[in-house]
Amino acid sequence: MTKDQIFEFFRRLAEDNPEPETELEYGNAYQLVVAVALSAQATDVGVNKATRALFAKVETPEQMLDLGLEGLTEHIRTIGLFNSKAKNVIALSQLLVDEYGGEVPETRGDLVRLPGVGRKTANVVLNCWFKQETFAVDTHILRVGNRTGLAKGKTPEAVEEKLEKRVPQPFRLHAHHWLILHGRYVCKARTPECWRCPVVDLCSYRKKVLEKPKGR
């Protein structure tokens, strides 16, 4: 894509959804860290179902430690890899209490020190809570970046690097949300719904599905 095409790409996505937000539910920075850590290889819908009751009880890392590993595990049994995720959440809560006064740090370097928090999770927290211009590349963004020609790369890191260079203002803050939502609901993995895509003419994908399949 050219610079003008990239600008138009995001202009249209922004026009459709001016204030995109993560679909994860949370009330503060700590709950966001926990929710994103739990969302690895799980759906936001599934995580939200598990965390509603949990977050009604737990708002701080201190409260999570009081709940304990067994208590947390009971709340998140419906989420994939719940045993390892529960251990990570307890460990990251302990580290926040021990070294950060119970507060969530606002630098990527500090965030990725937390057990279960990788670069993608850190980028989500930095973007959603601290309003930093980061690009959290998940499977949706990886697919959309490569399919459309917006940001091609074999790894999330490669796509993130391309997005850092190519996404213009005033779209940088919300760019990763637009791309995630576009990949989740329009540019789907199995059959992209090109027939209703607002940026179809800007996309370089060669196997566009321009007619809605019967029965859909």
* 8 Å CB contact between 107 and 113: no
Task: Please identify which of the residues 49, 138, 152, 208 carries the catalytic annotation.
Answer: 138
207 is catalytic: no
Cβ within 8 Å of residue 56, ≥6 positions away:
none
Task: Please identify which of the residues 120, 131, 165, 208 carries the catalytic annotation.
Answer: 120
110 is catalytic: no
Cβ within 8 Å of residue 129, ≥6 positions away:
29, 32, 104
Cβ within 8 Å of residue 124, ≥6 positions away:
22, 32, 36, 134, 136
Tokens 């980028």 label which residue?
A: 123
Q: Just list the catalytic residues.
A: 120, 138
